[in-house]
Structure formats: C-alpha cells, structure tokens
Structure 1
Amino acid sequence: MNYIRTGLLLAGLTALFGVVGMMIGGQQGMIIALLFAGAMNVFAYWNSDAMLLRMRSARQVDDRTAPELVSMVRELSQNAGLPMPKVYVVENPQPNAFATGRNPENAAVAATTGLLKLLDRNEIAGVMAHELAHVKNRDTLTMTITATIAGAISALANFAMFAGIFGGHRNDNNNPLGGFGMILVAILAPLGAMLVQMAISRTREYQADKMGAEICGHPLWLASALNKLDKGVHTIPNQDAERNPATAHMYIANPLSGKGMDSLFSTHPDMANRIARLKAMTVPVTDQTVDQPAHSGPWQTQSRNQNTRRQRRRPWN
C-alpha cells in the first residue's frame, strides 16, 4: 500500500508540474514543462548522488580510515541482502545521516561527524540500517526525483511571478491567466509541491524505520538513536542544509528543525510517533530480557560484556 501511495503522489506531483506549465503557457507550455521534467529526472537519475555528496563535502572512508564503521555497514548490508555501498563521513557538528544513489548497486550512505560523536555503536548501527532500508526500497531515487520536480515547480512559479508582474497586461492566447492569476499560481504551486513532497517523505520514513529495525534486528537501537537525534538537530543547526533546504528530506532527521518556522512544514514524521512505532515492534518479556528486541542482530553472538566494551568504542577510530 505504501508503494501504491508513493506512486500516486509522484504522479500527482508530475501532473502539478504539467498544470503549472499549462496555466502559464497553455497546452504548449504544459508539453514543454513535462518534457523539461522528464529531462531533469534523467539528469537526476545519473548525477544526483554525486551532486549531493559534493554539496555536503562528504569524504569517502574505507577499511583503513574508518574500519569499524565500514565493517558495521558491511555486516548490515549482508543482513539486508544488499551490495556493499560506499561509506562517507560529512564534517558537520549536527548529528544526522542520509543515503543516496540511483540503485542498490550504486548506493552510498553517509553519517555526519556529529552523529558519530553523539551515538554509541548500537545506535549508529540502527541509523545505518535505516539508511540501508532506504537503499533497499529505492527511496533514494524516489526522493531525488521528488526533489527535482518540486524544484522545477518552484522555478516555474518564479517565472510565473515575473510574468504576472511585468507581463500581465499582455493579451497572449497561450496564457489562459491574467496577471493576478499568474501571481496566484506562483504562490500556490510551490505550496502544493511542498505538501506532496512532505507526504512522500513521511511515508518512506516510516517504512525505512520498520525495515531498518528488521535489518539490524534491534528496534530499540534505532529508537534510542532517534531520541538523541531529535534533541541534537534542535540544538545544533546545519548550515549546509539551511542553504539548500530542498535536500532536507534526504536526512534521517529533519536538519532544518533548528529553525522554528521549518517545523511547520517538516518533511519528516513526528519523531515521537516514529519512536513509539519502533518500541511497539519489541516483545515485552521477563526482566532479564526486557531490553532485548524481537529479532537478533549481526552481533548477537557477542557476550554482554563484549558488547558493552564495543559500545564505548567509536567506529571511526
């Protein structure tokens, strides 16, 4: 059902793009707009991952530079039945993470230095499992296309605003709207695109939380991480994301949450709801195992003492 809903929302976003083009330039404008959207999607399909990583100044790490983090992602990838993605670290104090790539064979996962400093090993594993769930579900491609179309709608809206102000008096048969109508389109079209983008992102986040908990085998690991991330993003601003808010939906936690107005149009579900859903996946049993989740993770064979010692270590050391 989530996939059907996502498909319908994407179709609606593309249709909105065409409608805006038609309202600005008639039938010819709609065709040009749809062709433009198609060209942008093709470009985004092949180049979005490299562009996003370059925008965030991400550096790739390997078994030599971050052995524990890379080993963790490798084990989780095997659990998920995925090829090993590239692993990146972003120099940013805000605790956050994201995934990108057009398909599982060309995927990348990235964590900020703020996340690696804030979370323990189990919580980092929960976050990486969440990002791998996005890769497995091909959400990285879906959300990139969504951002591309939404950005194109905003560009058309800016054009409509300019045309409405400076060219609204002209009688152009290709334009079914007057100057006031053009200005109205310039205001409502980006708002509609934003609402659709929010709906798609929230649907995919819930699904990635569920699958991520299954990949790592411990829903409480991810629940604990989300609790810390929710506090972290409100405390530490992400200047890179603030400069380019169109990519905010790619992160596990809304990087714009430090700004009061941004929360009014958040691309992420309420964090308390996400945590509650993850806790509901655990099975309450005896006191000895009350903190143990329903599924086993890739480090289940470790003793409690071994696991405690490893939690104190950081995977980028």
Structure 2
Amino acid sequence: MRKLSTWKLKLRMFLATALLFGIIYAILIAIGAFMGFGGPLFYALLGLGIVFIQYLISPKIVELTMNVHYVTEAEAPRLHAMVSELAMNAGIPKPRVGIAEIDVPNAFAFGRSKSDGRVCVTRGILNLLDEEELRAVLGHEISHIKHSDMIVMTLVSAVPLICYYIFWSTLYSRDDDASLIGLAALLAYFLGQLIVLFISRTREYYADQGSIEIGGQPHKLASALYKLVYGSARFDRDDLKQIEGVKAFFLNDVTDARNEINDLRQLDMDMDGTISPGELQRLKYTGVRVGAGARILELISTHPNMLKRIQRLSEFT
C-alpha cells in the first residue's frame, strides 16, 4: 500500500478556512466603519459568542436529533473492540460508543474535543456491512476525531451564519449604506456556504485516508461506501428529509444516493454488491466517468462525488 502525502489536503483546508475568515473580517470592518461605534470588535465578539454557544450545545443537539444511546462493552463487545483498537492506532483517547436508532445505514462522529469524542453507528448499518467494512467505516469516523474536524466545522459554519444575521439586521433599513452592507453580507453568506461545503468535502477525503492509515483496508472502505449509497437509496425521500439537516455528519450524502446509483454501476464489474481488491485496483488505471451534472452538483454537496472518492481510494492499493 502506498502512503499518500497529506500536505495537499491540509493546504486546501487552510486556504479555504483563511478565505472564509477573510470574508467575515472584511464584512466586520465595513460594519464598524458604518456604525461608528463598537466597530468590528463588537461583531467579532458576537461571532465568537455564537461559535461558543454552538460548541457547547452541538453534542446534545446531535444526540437528540439522531436518537443516540451509548452502549457498554457488555452490550456491544464487537463495536467496543474495534473502536478501542482503532483509537489506539490513531493515538487518541477511546471515544464513547453509541448506537443511533435510525434505520438509514450510516455512522458519524461528534464531540467537543478529542477527549470528548463520540463514535456512533446507526441501527441500519449493523445489518448491512461485514466486520472489515464496519472497521473501515469506524476508522473513517475516528479519523474525524483525530483531525479535530468537529471543531473545525463548528468554527467555519458560524461564519456564513454571522453574515446571514448581518443581512437580516439590515434588510428593512432605509439607509443606502446599510443596504449595501446587507447586500455584501448576503453575497458573503452564499460564498461562505460554498467554502464551508468545500471544506466539508475535503475533510471526507482526509478521513478516508486516515481510515487506511490506522488499519482499514481500501477495498473494504470502498465497498462500505458503495453499500451505504444503495442502502440510503432504498429509503423514501420523506424519510431522508428528516435527517437532511445532519447529513454532513454521515459518510455519504444520503439525500443524493438515488442520483449516485447509476454512476456507481461502473465500479461493480461482477455485480456482486461489493468492491473487490481487483475492482478497486482497476480504477487506478482506468479512472471513472463523472458527468458534468454530477460535477456541478458536487459543488453544493457536503460530500465528494462518490465515484471520485472511491477512485482516490484506489491510489492506496
């Protein structure tokens, strides 16, 4: 297995984050100049307050939304054993282990810090994946904790939120300068959202790589992703809408699964429902065919295009 350098992923994350905070800084400077009191410091403190509150309450929101209950080693010995081993390989404290009473097959990680990490699987994934596929999935989630992705996404997601708040606060103003600031904030909100989505997609590639580095097998992670797409596509759109607000936590964009199925058929050559080592290695030399529509949709998605994502896993074979 060839170990890939992470510097390109880290550089992309850094540049996107720097651009995002540059946008909010410019907006704050403009507001400070217009208002004449408080200046950017006032809105910077406001933004930090929003981030801090989000940081404090986000784990509880996730637990309630996902219907999470934590399990002991006696209740789920296999899960605990895999999480313990992977966390040790990643060099982080063992996260809490939970099961979300959701039928859609998936897994997710959250928490306030590495020492507060929680790894959860949905009820649906336990009946779908084999043990090595599940191990690769758990490795992906533990890598999110190792990379502090929960904190990063909390911080960057607050920036468009602040821009949106500024826009609404100036929406009914009759002052031309305030209206211009509101318009700039609205544009910054949309641009900020695109940057946040870009960061979200990059962290998924990074976590995929992290899973391989701490013991996951590339073809098993590819096979798990393939199964998760098909597993999500079986659900009614109304059922998926209930978890749309938290889909960024999952391994794949569950609401886009139906659109990905046709493209994924080019991966499973023997149509056995899994991605074998040979099928994955073939992608290293043949590549994948990603349509223009899928490339455009990827720009507004929390997750990378699944074909591109699985092709990147082939580089580890």
TM (norm. structure 1) is 0.75
Q: Which has the higher contact order (CA 8 A, sep 6+)?
A: 1
- What's the secondary structure of 1:257's corresponding residue? helix
Task: Identify the residue that residue 175 of structure 2 maps to in structure 1.
Answer: 170
Question: In the aligned structure 2, how far is the partner of 1:234 from the partner of 1:263?
Answer: 18
User: Pairwise mapping of residues 22-61 of structure 1 onto structure 2 (< 5 A)?
Assistant: 22-23=29-30, 26=34, 28=38, 30-61=40-71
- Structure 1 residues 253 and 116 mapped into 2: Cα distance closer, same or farther (>3 Å)? same
1:23 shift after superposition: 4.7
Which residue pairs with 2:301 in the alignment? 266
**Deviation string for 1:189-247 (max 9, x for gaps)?**
321111110111122111110110121241111110011112233443433332x3xx4
TM-score scaled to structure 2, two decimals?
0.75
The structural deviation recorded for 1:253 is 1.0
List alignment gaps of at least 5 residues for structure 1.
283-317
Is 1:18 equivalent to 2:51 in the alignment?
no
Superimposed CA distance per residue, residues 170-193 of structure 1 (whole angstroms, 9 cap, x where no aligned partner) = 36xxxx34x4x3563364232111
C-alpha spacing 1:254/1:155, structure 2 compared with 1 (3 Å): farther
Give the drift of 1:40.
2.3
C-alpha RMSD of matched pairs (Å): 2.6
Q: Is the CA contact 2:104–2:231 (under 8 Å) kept in the aligned structure 1? A: yes
SS at match of 1:266: coil
Q: How does 1:168-247 map to 2 (within 5 A)?
A: 169-170=174-175, 176-177=177-178, 179=179, 181=180, 184-185=183-184, 187-236=186-235, 237=237, 238-242=240-244, 244=245, 247=246
> Identity rate of aligned residues, in percent?
32
Which residue of 96, 99, 119 maps to 2:106? 96
SS in 1 for 2:99: strand
Structure 2 CA distance for partners of 1:192 and 1:228, relative to 1, 3 Å: same
Q: Distance in 2 between matches of 1:43 and 1:145?
A: 11
Distance in 1 (CA, whole Å) between partners of 2:114 and 2:204 is: 18
SS at match of 2:214: helix
Distance 2:163 2:127 in 1: 38
Contact 1:130 1:211 in 2 (8 A): yes
Give, as a single letter, the amino acid of the residue that structure 2 aligns with 1:84.
K
Aligned to 1:302: none
> Who is 1:6 aligned against?
13
Partner of 2:127: 117
> Kindly tell me: are residues 55 and 154 of structure 1, through their superposed partners in 2, closer, same or farther at Cα, counting changes over 3 Å?
farther
Moved more, 201-210 or 183-192: 183-192
Find the partner of 2:315 among 253, 275, 280. Answer: 280
Shift of 1:102: 2.5
Q: Does 1:147 align with 2:171?
A: no
For residue 47 of structure 1, report the CA deviation from its aligned partner.
Answer: 3.5
